[in-house]
């Protein structure tokens, strides 16, 4: 049993452009307000540093001085156009190229930013590339990562040190989430539509101030649509009003002062683009992720890799210890189960039952942030992610209504031949909704042969779980 990954499809904008033409000088640019944030500026910096050291290890960073320096120059030009009220001296905007084919870019809190090689290759001019970067810079300047945590109030992240925050990508949860799969699911932040709009508006203002045409940011959506247009209907069905974002950028372009001769195709842009296109083709983020998964287990599994599987796993102790996460989660855990804390979860397993392929006896708990925000659908999404990550498992039952953590929940059973010990593994997943709209889950895992012993243990654990998210 290992942690699941949640595949989200690449999306694209397909829309009709409608431009509202307004006399430029008559309307002031849209006022952007810094969202409420209970975290310190230094929290953004620390989070970004921690995450960027992981990104540097796990993503293929393109080590090409000419291309990287070019992206850094464009970045510096944009950073110097950040409005004074959003300049934060503690932030350090740094730019690197990820050797991936997807048209995407993402930024981490405090400034580290990653631009995919595929985006530079696909951009029709420097303005399109700069547009995506300006959008990402805006997420950083407005401190969206910690602002969103302030709003979500995810207790898991608070307790575990909000290690789970990474900046959203230009396409938010859709294509952006692809990159997130490299880490434990949910590692990448999906920003609210409100924040995406904010980053588009401020991004358009920064672009204009830096000598670009904000319409090129809107144009980049067209370029993306051109690449992934075939899958657009799926995206359209889950996002009402997709044209809104592009229209708002075009409207903002009417409100700001755009240079009569904006930066478009520069000789340097052409040179770097040619240079990148002449390199061996880059892998997609999905390919990179698959390879990373083959090479290592993810989530709390990483910490378990020191373990060795044994034929003689000790039965769960009849004595329990109390396990708690702050004051929002309390439960009983057999005394002889070790704890492994991951980014978004914790696993408990006895000696001999964990290793680099996950765990064979024990349980995992955690919080899943689903795509839909609807409990039933998010539970199903979570279960499908687990089935994908554990190809040997099959669904045994439908969803059953159960009491879990003293409230309404769902339970479902999976089973399959364990690739570790060859016998039948039973997996039961319990979920219940949190006030934040996220899903709390508990996954109970045991060999079928020892089901009788483990049933009693799991019942005791399930009955002991108390969630206190109402107090947050």
| In the complex, least distance from residue 329 CB atom to Zn ion, rounded to whole angstroms | 31
Of the pair 168, 433, the CB lying nearest Zn ion is at: 168
Of the pair 104, 297, the CB lying nearest Zn ion is at: 104
Of the pair 75, 168, the CB lying nearest Zn ion is at: 168
Of the pair 139, 361, the CB lying nearest Zn ion is at: 139
Rounded to whole angstroms, how far apart are CA atoms 286 and 372? 22
| In the complex, least distance from residue 180 CB atom to Zn ion, rounded to whole angstroms | 13
Q: Which of 413, 412, 407 is nearest to 465 (CA)?
A: 407
Stretch that binds Zn ion, among 148-156, 162-170, 318-326, 411-419 (CB under 5 A): 162-170
Whole-number CA gyration radius for the chain: 24
| In the complex, least distance from residue 428 CB atom to Zn ion, rounded to whole angstroms | 37
Of the pair 239, 338, the CB lying nearest Zn ion is at: 239
Of the pair 172, 433, the CB lying nearest Zn ion is at: 172
117 neighbors 177 (Cβ within 8 angstroms): no
For Zn ion, the binding residue among 4, 167, 168, 242 (CB under 5 A) is 168
Q: How far is CA 181 from CA 187, 286, 399, 414, in A?
A: 8, 8, 26, 23
Rounded to whole angstroms, how far apart are CA atoms 145 and 118? 25
| In the complex, least distance from residue 168 CB atom to Zn ion, rounded to whole angstroms | 5
Of the pair 130, 199, the CB lying nearest Zn ion is at: 199
Stretch that binds Zn ion, among 51-59, 90-98, 160-168, 351-359 (CB under 5 A): 160-168
DSSP tag of 84: G
Q: How many CA atoms lie within 13 A of 372 on its CB side?
A: 12
Rounded to whole angstroms, how far apart are CA atoms 359 and 352? 9
| Element holding 378 (H helix, E strand) | helix 375-389
| In the complex, least distance from residue 263 CB atom to Zn ion, rounded to whole angstroms | 22
DSSP tag of 283: B
Of the pair 128, 196, the CB lying nearest Zn ion is at: 196
The encoded tokens of residue 195 equal: 């924040």
114 neighbors 81 (Cβ within 8 angstroms): no
Stretch that binds Zn ion, among 38-46, 195-203, 222-230, 363-371 (CB under 5 A): 195-203
Of the pair 102, 196, the CB lying nearest Zn ion is at: 196
Stretch that binds Zn ion, among 114-122, 193-201, 359-367, 441-449 (CB under 5 A): 193-201
Of the pair 78, 465, the CB lying nearest Zn ion is at: 78
| In the complex, least distance from residue 294 CB atom to Zn ion, rounded to whole angstroms | 30
| In the complex, least distance from residue 14 CB atom to Zn ion, rounded to whole angstroms | 19
| In the complex, least distance from residue 196 CB atom to Zn ion, rounded to whole angstroms | 5
| In the complex, least distance from residue 310 CB atom to Zn ion, rounded to whole angstroms | 47
| Element holding 348 (H helix, E strand) | strand 345-349
Stretch that binds Zn ion, among 2-10, 38-46, 167-175, 245-253 (CB under 5 A): 167-175
| In the complex, least distance from residue 127 CB atom to Zn ion, rounded to whole angstroms | 18
End-to-end CA, the chain: 32
Stretch that binds Zn ion, among 23-31, 64-72, 168-176, 459-467 (CB under 5 A): 168-176
Q: Looking at beta carbons, which pairs linking 405-410 to residues 24 or more positions away fall under 8 Å?
A: 405/432, 405/440, 405/465, 405/466, 405/467, 406/465, 406/466, 406/467, 407/432, 407/467, 408/432, 408/433, 410/375, 410/376, 410/379
Q: How far is CA 107 from CA 140, 207, 257, 275, 336, in A?
A: 7, 17, 26, 24, 42
DSSP tag of 470: G
SS (H, E, C) 16-55: CCCCCCCCHHHCCCCCCCCCCCCCCHHHHHHHHHHHHHHH
Stretch that binds Zn ion, among 76-84, 196-204, 248-256, 377-385 (CB under 5 A): 196-204
Task: Tell me the site size for Zn ion, rule CB under 5 A.
Answer: 3
| In the complex, least distance from residue 351 CB atom to Zn ion, rounded to whole angstroms | 45
If DSSP codes are grouped into helix, strand and coil, which group holds residue 343?
coil
| Positions in 89-118 near Zn ion (CB under 5 A) | none
Stretch that binds Zn ion, among 197-205, 238-246, 265-273, 450-458 (CB under 5 A): 197-205
Of the pair 136, 469, the CB lying nearest Zn ion is at: 136
List residues near Zn ion by CB under 5 A.
168, 196, 199
């Amino acid at each position: 049993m290992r942690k699941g990954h949640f595949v989200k499809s690449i999306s694209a904008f397909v829309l009709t452009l409608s431009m509202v033409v307004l006399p430029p000088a008559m309307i002031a640019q849209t006022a952007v307000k810094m969202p409420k944030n209970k975290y310190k500026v230094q929290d953004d910096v620390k989070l970004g540093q921690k995450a960027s050291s992981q990104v540097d290890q796990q993503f293929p960073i393109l080590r090409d001085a000419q291309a990287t320096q070019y992206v850094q120059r464009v970045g510096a030009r944009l950073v110097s156009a950040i409005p004074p009220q959003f300049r934060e001296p503690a932030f350090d905007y740094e730019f690197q190229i990820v050797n991936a084919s997807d048209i995407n870019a993402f930024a981490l809190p405090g400034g580290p930013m990653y631009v995919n090689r595929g985006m530079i290759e696909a951009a029709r001019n420097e303005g399109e590339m700069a547009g995506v970067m300006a959008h990402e810079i805006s997420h950083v300047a407005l401190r969206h990562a910690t602002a969103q945590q302030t709003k979500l109030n995810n207790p898991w992240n608070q307790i575990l040190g909000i290690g789970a925050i990474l900046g959203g990508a230009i396409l938010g949860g859709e294509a952006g989430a692809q990159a997130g799969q490299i880490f434990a699911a949910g590692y990448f932040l999906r920003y609210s539509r409100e924040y995406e709009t904010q980053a588009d508006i401020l991004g358009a203002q920064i672009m204009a101030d830096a000598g670009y045409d904000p319409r090129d940011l809107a144009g980049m959506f067209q370029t993306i649509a051109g690449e992934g247009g075939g899958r657009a209907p799926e995206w359209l069905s889950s996002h009402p009003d997709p044209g809104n974002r592009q229209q708002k950028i075009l409207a903002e372009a009417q409100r700001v002062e755009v240079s009569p001769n904006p930066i478009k195709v520069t000789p340097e842009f052409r040179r770097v683009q040619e240079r990148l296109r002449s390199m061996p083709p880059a892998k997609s983020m999905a390919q990179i992720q698959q390879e990373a998964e083959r090479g290592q287990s993810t989530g709390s599994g990483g910490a378990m890799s020191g373990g060795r599987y044994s034929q003689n796993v000790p039965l769960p102790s009849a004595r329990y210890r109390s396990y708690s996460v702050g004051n929002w989660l309390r439960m009983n855990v057999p005394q002889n189960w070790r704890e492994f804390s991951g980014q978004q979860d914790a696993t408990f397993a006895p000696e001999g039952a964990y290793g680099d392929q996950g765990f064979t006896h024990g349980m995992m708990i955690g919080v899943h942030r689903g795509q839909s925000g609807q409990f039933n659908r998010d539970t199903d999404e979570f279960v499908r992610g687990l089935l994908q990550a554990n190809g040997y498992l099959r669904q045994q039952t439908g969803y059953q209504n159960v009491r879990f953590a003293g409230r309404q929940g769902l339970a479902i059973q999976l089973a399959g031949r364990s690739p570790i010990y060859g016998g039948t593994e039973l997996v039961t997943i319990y979920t219940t909704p949190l006030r934040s709209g996220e899903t709390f889950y508990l996954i109970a895992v045991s060999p079928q042969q020892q089901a009788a012993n483990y049933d009693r243990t799991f019942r005791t654990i399930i009955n002991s779980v108390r969630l206190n998210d109402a107090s947050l």
